[in-house]
Structure 1
Amino acid sequence: MQTSFTDAQLKDADTASSNAVLRKCVHCGFCTATCPTYLLLGDELDSPRGRIYLMKDMLEQGGAPAPSTVKHIDRCLSCLSCMTTCPSGVNYMHLVDHARAHIEDHYTRPLPERMLRSLLATVLPNRALFRVAAALGRLARPLAPLMPGRLKGMLTMAPARLPARGRVSGPGTYAAEGARTARMALLYGCVQPVLRPSIDDAAVRLLNRHGVEVVVASGGGCCGALPHHMGKSADAHALAKVNIAAWEAEMARGLDAIIITASGCGTTVKDYGFMFRDDPEWAERAARVSALARDISEVLADLDLLPPVIEPGMPVAYHSACSMQHGQQIRTQPRALLARAGFAVREVGEGHICCGSAGTYSILQPELSQQLRARKLGNIAATGAEIVATGNIGCITHLEGGGARMIHTVELLDWATGGPRPAGV
C-alpha cells in the first residue's frame, strides 16, 4: 500500500510504525473471510481491509476524523483474527491501537459517550472501585429489562453474586511444595480477582504442587489493556509502569517467568516492549518484562504434570480466546494439557471467530457483541459438552449463563491433578 506521510509526520514514532504496517498491506482481502464484523454486516468498511484504508487516510490527514470513520473503527473488536490470516504479516494490532489513540486525542465524542468511556477507564482497572460497582450492579440487576441500551447490557452482565476473596488476595509469596524448581511472579490484575478469584487460586495451587514458588508483587495491578484499547494511552502507560516497577523488584531476587492467567492481559504485557520503545527511561525495562511474560498454559506445558486423579473421558469443549490464539499465537498447549489431564477435548465450530466479549466491546457495542455471543453459544451447544474450558476472564463472563459452564483451563488442570473440583462441575 502506498502512503504519503510527510517527513515531519514520520518523525513521530507511532506514525513511523503505522507507516511501516500500512506498506505491508497488499489489499489481498484474505482478512475479510475471518473478520467477525464483516461476517455480520457485510460492509467492506467493517472489514480489516476497509478499516486499514480509513486509518491510513485519517492518520495522513491528521486532525479530527469524520464521525463515519470513528464508527467503523469503533466497531472493530481487536480480535486480531486478521493477523492470523494475513499472508503479508500486517501488524493490525499496532495500527488500530495507534488509530484509537489518535481518535481519543483529536475527536470529540458526544458527552454521554465520553462519560461512559471515562467511567470504564476509571472503574474497571481499580479492583476496589470495580468490586463496589459490581456489588451495586448486582443489586440493580432485576431492573435491567426496564433500562435502555448500554445500561441494560451493563446490568445484565453484573454478577448474580460476588464470590468471597480467594486465597490469593494481594501481595505475598506462595511456597513450592517440596524442592523449589522455579520462582515466578503472578499478574494480580483488576477484574478477574473480583469476579473469579478461583482462577488465580487454582494457578498458585497447581504451580506450588509442581515445585514452583509463586510471588504476587507488591504494587502490581491492572495491566493497562482496558484503557489502552480505548485509546487512552497515558492511562495505559501509567498502569504498565506500575507493574514494570513492581516486577523489577522481584526480578532482582531472581524470577523465571511472569505468569498471566488472563490471555487478554497477556497480549498487552507481552507488548510492553513495543509500547515503550521510544521512551529512554522505560524501553529496556519494559522489554525485559515482556520477555519474561508467559501465559499459564505456556508454563504448564513445560512442566511434568502429575498423573490425573479424576476419571478420564469427561467431555470438555475448548474455546480459544482471540487474545490467546490470535494475539499470542498460543493454540496447541491448552488443548494438549487438557487431553493429558484426561479430558475428552471437543472443538468448537468457527473457533477462530470472536465471542463478542473483547474487553469493553460488550458494553460499548452491545448489539454486535450479543450477535456474536449467540453465534458462539450455538457452536458450543453443538459440541454436546456441558463444560467449556477457556483462558480469558472476559470470555468466561460474557458466555456464562448461556448453557454450558465456563471454566478456566487452569481450574480444570488443578482439579485433575489433586486440587478441588471447580464450582459448577
Structure 2
Amino acid sequence: MNAHQLQATAFLTALGRALSVLTLYGEDHPTRTEVEDEVFARLMDFKYLEQIPTITFLDAEVVVNRRPIRELRGWGWGPRLSEVGIQRMEFPSAPNRQDLRLFLEEATHRLTRNRGARAGDGSRQEELLAGVIGASIRFGRVGIGGSRSDEEPVARVVTATLDFSLDEEFGAVSWLQEEVKGGRGLHLAEAEAVVRSLAIAARSHQHVLATLFRPAGGSPGPGMGSHLDPAAQGFATSHAMNVSVLSMALAEFMGMNSGAVRAVGIAGLLHDLGTTRVPPGILTKPGSLTPSERELVERHPADGARLIIRNEERLDLAAVVAYEHHVRYDGSGYPRFRFPRPLHPVSHLVHVCATFDTLLSDRPWRGRWPEDRALEHLLAGAGSEFHPDFARDLVRMIRLERRL
C-alpha cells in the first residue's frame, strides 16, 4: 500500500474501534475521549495527504477516492454504515474535534436505530439530516451527480420526423466496451457524448420504443439507421444503449431534472460493464449454465463496479448501479449483501428498464417477448422482483405513449 492507502486504513480502523465502543457502551463510556482522540489523529494524517479525501462503501468494498483498498475488503462497518445512509464520506476542509464528535454521535444514533430528533438540536439536527456537519464533514448516500436544477437542459429536438441516425454512437459504445475489455480504461467524455446523443434521439420520436435497437433477429428502431445489424454488433452494445434510453425516459417521466436524467443515462449505459470480464461463449450459451459458469456471470456486477470506480471517481452513482442492478426489490438476486440494506433508487430504476429491454430482445435461449407480455411481467413482479413505483411508472409511460 502507498502512504495514502495506509493513512486511510489507519483512519477507518480507528473509526471502527470508536463505533464499537460507542454503539456497545454509549457516549458516556470512559474510553470515549480516548477513541475520539485516536480517530481525530488518524483523520488529520489522512486529510494531510489528500486535498478532499472521499470514502465510499460498496458492500464489501471500501473505495478511497477511486481506489478500492484490498486490505479493507470485508471491513464489517462498511455495510453497516451503508445500511443507515452513510455510504459516502467527504472531508472538504480541515477537520475539527467538534465536527468529528457530532459525526460520531450521529453515526452511533443511526446504528443503534434511535432515529428520532433529539431535544435541543434545532438547526443542527436539520444539517445532520442533510449530511453536513460544520464545514469539514459531509456524508450520506451516493447521490446523483450533477443533479442541480439550474444545469443547462439537454438539447431538445423539436421535430418528431427527424431521421436521427446513431450509427456513430453504436460504434462508440462498442469501442468503449472493447477499450475496457482490453484494459485501456473507461473514456468518460465519449460516454457522456453518447448519452447526450441518445437523449436527443429519444426526443426526436414520439415513442421511446421507436428509438431502441432490436437485437438478434429484430430490426433497429427507425431512428437508428437501417443498415446496422445489431445481432452482428452484439447484444451488449445494443442493450447498453437501450437501457440508457429507457432509463432517461423513465427518469424524465418521473420528474427528475435534466442533470439527474443525464446521470441516470450514464448509469444505464455502463450498468453491465462487468460483462466484459465474462467469456462471450458463456453469455451466448443457449443451454443451462454450469455452476462454475454461473459463478462467473454472477461476478459481473462487482467487476463492473470496480472497473468504473477505478477509472473515474465522478461515476460513483454508476458504480453503485452496476453493483446493485441484479438485486431484486425483495432482496434476492445477486450479489447477496452480507448485511441487508436498501438499494439506491436508481438501481431499482435501471433494473426495471434492463429487464424490460432484455425481454424485448432475442436471446440464444429464447425468442423475444411481445411488448404486452413484457409489460405484464413487470406488473406481476411489482413489489417482489421490482420496486413497485418504478415498474408501474414504466408500464404507465409506455402505455400512455401508445395513445399519443
**What's the TM-score once normalised by structure 2's chain length?**
0.25
Structure number with bigger Rg: 2
**What's the TM-score once normalised by structure 1's chain length?**
0.24
